[in-house]
Chain A
C-alpha cells in the first residue's frame, strides 16, 4: 500500500519562465555505492527529447518539458493532479567525475549515473608486517 504522499510541490522559482506552464519539483531517489552516485527522478510525461540536463561548474540542473499532458479535443471533467514541467537543481561535490556522467530516460523516469572520481574511491591500505 502506498504510504507516501504523491502530491507535487510547485517550484517557486525567481527566474521568469517563457513557457506558460507551472513547474514542479520532481521527486528523486539518490543512492550510492563505492564507485558511483545514482540519481533517479520521477518525471512522467518526459522522454529523452524533452529532458534537459546541464552541468555548470558544479551545479547540476535537471529539467523536463511535458508537451502532451492535455488530451487533445477533450474536456477536463475531474482533476487530481496538475500538469507541468519539471526542474530541480543540485550542487555536486568534487567527488564526481564530470565527463563520465550517464543519463537515460525510460517511462518518465530519468536515471543519472555519476561516477566518483578515482582519487575519492576508498582505498584499502595494505599493512605490512613490521
Chain B
C-alpha cells in the first residue's frame, strides 16, 4: 500500500511522517532500541519550496571543508566526518554520547536535479541543500480547446 513513491500521494504527505513515526516507535518497542543502520545518518527532513526540494540535516560540529556533497541525476549524496576532539596530554573522557565517525548517505528525490543550481548552506550546525528540478521537467499545463 505504501509504495516507495511518497510524493505522488500528495494528500498523504501530512500523514506519512506520522505513520512512519508510529512504525518507528513500534519497531523500537519490539526490537533493540531502534537500531539505525549506518545508511541512515544523518537524519534528514525534506521540504518542498518553489518547485525545489530542500533537504535539511542536523550536523553539528562538522568542518564544512570536509563535507562532501554531490548530486548525480536524481540522487544527492552527503558524506563527511564527525571528528572527535583531539585530546592533548592527560585528557580523558568522563562521558561520551555524541556521535563520531564518518558517514555517507544517498538521498533520492523523484525528479532529475539541475546540478548546476544546487545551493548548500551550513549554518549553526544545520546543513540545508536546495535541489532545483531540471527545467524541462516542469509539468506543462495543457489547455482544453
Q: Classify the interface of chain A: helix, strand, loop or mixed.
A: loop
Q: Are B46 and A30 in contact (CB under 8 A)?
A: no
Distance from A96 Cβ to chain B, minimum over Cβ atoms (Å) = 13
CB distance from A9 to the nearest CB of B (A): 11
5 A-B pairs with CB atoms under 8 Å apart are A27-B99, A33-B89, A78-B45, A107-B125, A108-B59
Closest to B49 in A: A74
Please, how many angstroms separate the alpha-carbon atoms of A126 and B137 in the complex? 80
- With a CB–CB cut-off of 8 A, which chain B residues contact A28? 95, 97-98
Query: Which among B45, B87, B91 has the highest number of chain A CB atoms within 10 Å?
Result: B45
Starting from the known contacts A47-B124, A79-B45, 12 additional A-B residue pairs (CB-CB under 8 Å) come to A6-B36, A29-B85, A29-B93, A31-B91, A32-B91, A43-B125, A76-B45, A78-B6, A78-B44, A78-B46, A81-B43, A108-B125
Size class of the contact patch on chain A: 35 or more
A44 contacts chain B at the CB level, 8 A cutoff: yes
Overall SS of chain B's interface: mixed
Distance in Å from the Cβ of A50 to the closest Cβ of chain B?
A: 9
> What chain A residues lie within 8 Å of B43 (beta carbons)?
6-7, 80-81
Partner of A108, one of B44, B47, B61, B97: B61
Q: Interface on A for B, CB 8 Å cutoff?
A: 1-7, 27-34, 37-38, 40, 42-47, 69, 71, 73-81, 83, 106-109
**Are B126 and A77 in contact, with the CB atoms below 8 A?**
no
Instruction: Determine whether the beta carbon of B60 is less than 8 Å from that of A78.
Output: no
Question: Could you tell me the distance between the alpha carbons of A113 and B93 in the complex, rounded to whole angstroms?
Answer: 14
